[in-house]
Structure formats: C-alpha cells, structure tokens
Amino acid sequence: MAITVAFEHPVILASPAVPTALQAKETVVAVLTDDNGGGAVTITHNMGISVADLAAGLPIVSIERMLAGSLVEEYIVTAKAANTIALNAVAGGGATASVRVTMRRPHSIGR
C-alpha cells in the first residue's frame, strides 16, 4: 500500500517533514495520494490538542476529493489524538486517489 502525505500548509520545504507545533497553530492542510486502493494512514498535525478539546471533537477535519472517479471512495476518520489523526481509506474503483485533508482548531476568539 502506498499512501503518501504531502503538506500544503504550513509550507514545509523538506518532504516528508511534518509541521512543528509553532508552525501548526490553527490549521494544517495535507494532500494524500493513494495509488493502491485504500488502507490506513496517520497524519501528524502537531497542534497539541488538549484532552478537553479532543472530547469536544477537535480538530475539525475536512476531506476534499481532488480526482473524480478515484480509486478510493471515501476516507473515514478513525481516531484523533493530541498530535495526529488516523484515517482509513475505503477502496472503490477508478484512477489513483488524491484528497486534501484540512485539520482546524478553532481560534480562541471563536469559542
């Protein structure tokens, strides 16, 4: 299985580096590319989400499909931790899959 993770925001110059806690702040965006039809993947966001915020469902995770008719039909968030999220890709049919995963922690002003 070959699921690769590339970070779009914050901009990381050396792949496969992950954002530091200082870089992560409120938003981390990663692009997942899957050329083998599904499986599990863990994304390190390094936001340092507290136990209380995890219990409240944070970080907010949005998944945007980037290729129509992709090999992977859907990604399911299976776990959230202080510095990571785990996803499971359910295989479908078609071409290589590519999705953008946005992880957000609401700013303290908006809480």
Question: What residue ranges do the domains of the chain occupy?
Answer: 3-110
User: Residue 109 carries which DSSP code?
Assistant: G
Residue range 53-108, pLDDT digits in tens:
999 999 999 998 887 665 566 789 999 999 999 998 876 655 677 889 999 987 77
Rg for the chain (alpha carbons), in Å? 14
- Mean pLDDT for the stretch of residues 2-17: 78
Tell me the C-alpha distance between 109 and 67, whole Å.
35
Residue written as tokens 């915020």? 53
Q: What is the reported pTM? A: 0.85
Dihedral angle computed from the Cα positions of residues 58, 21, 3 and 103, in that order, rounded to the nearest 10 degrees:
30
User: Residue 18 carries which DSSP code?
Assistant: -
Residue environment code for 71-110, b if the CB has 16+ CB neighbours within 10 A, otherwise e: bbebbeeeebeeebbebebeeeeeeebbbebbbbbeeeee
Tell me the C-alpha distance between 78 and 41, whole Å.
10
Q: Read off the pLDDT band of 24 (50, 70, 90).
A: confident
Tokens matching residue 45: 């966001």
Tell me the C-alpha distance between 96 and 35, whole Å.
5
